[in-house]
């Protein structure tokens, strides 16, 4: 009888441990996605502010962002794709899989802005931590 209880307790602990590991892994993925999106919006806001104060975007957007204290990699360690001209920019992360397209935390995040717009356009999955 004691042996059965011991086996049952071990089985319950294994299931609980596996469930906790799954929960923590999925929570971490959602957190990374949300943090990446937030950092990209912050970079976009900073660039917009620069344009509104100077009338032009920085000559080197990447260097400007680094000088402002931003990392140029997403939460998965992949570099952002940054495209810009004198009056528009886009910052992209290809999500957790680092490939174009995707679902869930692999969904691309794209932050865009152009001089004649009222604000940033953010395309991303609706994932909240």
Please state, in angstroms and rounded to a whole number, the distance separating the CA atoms of residues 75 and 29: 9
pLDDT of residue 28: 86
Judge whether 91 and 40 are in contact, CB under 8 Å: yes
* Residue 17 within a domain: yes
Using one digit for the tens of pLDDT, what is the confidence trace for 96-116? Answer: 999 998 888 899 999 999 999
Range of the domain at 109: 2-123
Cβ neighbour number for residue 89 with a 10 Å cutoff: 22
Cβ neighbour number for residue 21 with a 10 Å cutoff: 10
pLDDT of residue 1: 63
Q: Is the pLDDT of residue 37 over 50?
A: yes
Q: Is the pLDDT of residue 52 over 50?
A: yes
* Residue 75 within a domain: yes
Judge whether 122 and 111 are in contact, CB under 8 Å: yes
Query: What's the structural domain count of the chain?
Result: 1
* Residue 129 within a domain: no
* Residue 79 within a domain: yes
More confident residue, 49 or 27: 49
* Residue 83 within a domain: yes
Q: How much is the pTM?
A: 0.77
């Amino acid at each position: 009888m004691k042996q059965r209880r011991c086996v049952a307790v071990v089985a319950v602990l294994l299931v609980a441990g596996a469930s906790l590991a799954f929960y923590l892994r999925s929570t971490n993925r959602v957190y990374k996605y949300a943090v990446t999106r937030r950092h990209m919006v912050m970079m976009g806001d900073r660039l917009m502010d620069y344009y509104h104060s100077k009338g032009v975007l920085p000559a080197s957007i990447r260097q400007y962002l680094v000088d402002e204290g931003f990392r140029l990699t997403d939460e998965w360690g992949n570099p952002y794709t940054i495209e810009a001209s004198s009056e528009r920019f886009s910052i992209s992360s290809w999500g957790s899989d680092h490939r174009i397209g995707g679902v869930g935390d692999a969904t691309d995040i794209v932050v865009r802005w152009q001089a004649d717009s009222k604000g940033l356009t953010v395309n991303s999955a609706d994932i909240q931590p």
